[in-house]
Amino acid sequence: MTLFYFVAGFVIVQRIAELFRAKRNEKLAFAAGGVEFDRAGYKIIVLMHTCFFLSLIAEYLYFNPGVNKYWYVYFALFLAAQVLRYWTITSLGTKWNTRIIIVPGSSLVTKGPFRYMKHPNYAAVITELLVIPMMFSCYITAGVFTVLNLLVLKRRIRIEEQALAQLERGI
């Protein structure tokens, strides 16, 4: 049970800290003339992530499934996702945000994990939303939120790709 509270608490504190960083970067982007895309979709993402944590905690407390016997495999994948996530955030610098904000005249980031994949942060989030509940045998949360996340990301990536295409054309 201690591992559950440590991991859940760590990720929740991490997300809150990231929201402060994103807010700072959002202000910088808007000050530089940034244009936001899909404001309504962002609210859905926030709601989904909030419900993920509520579901994870509720399922763990209600069913008391305990730690999965392969927890160390899931924990290793979780750690790998953290490395990818922070490599992405570091590579984007002040361009990193939880929203889709495009600053006219800026260039696409091609360093760090972007040399190898187009949306590394989404790969990290997909991994996290699957392996965190699996680590604690919360199979309902793992299944439901993996599917919801993929549906939300499919839409978000399409919109983000359109926004980035506008950036490449010089908005």
State the DSSP string of 73-113.
HHHHHHHHHHHHHHHHHHHHGGG--SSEEE-TT-----SGG
CA distances from 97 to 76, 135, 148, 166 (A): 26, 28, 21, 18
What is the value of pTM for the model shown?
0.92
How far apart, in whole angstroms, are the C-alpha atoms of residue 4 and residue 58? Answer: 12
How far apart, in whole angstroms, are the C-alpha atoms of residue 84 and residue 113? Answer: 7
pLDDT grade for 118, boundaries at 50, 70 and 90: very high
Name the residue with tokens 């530089």: 32
3-state secondary structure of 36: strand
How far apart, in whole angstroms, are the C-alpha atoms of residue 69 and residue 57? Answer: 19
Q: Check whether 167 has a pLDDT greater than 90.
A: no
Domains and their CATH numbers in the chain: 2-169 (1.20.120.1630)
**pLDDT 10s digits, 127-164:** 999 999 999 999 999 999 999 999 999 999 999 999 98
Q: Check whether 1 has a pLDDT greater than 80.
A: no
Give the contacts of 161 (CB within 8 A, at least 6 positions apart).
none
pLDDT grade for 80, boundaries at 50, 70 and 90: very high
Residue 29: predicted pLDDT: 97
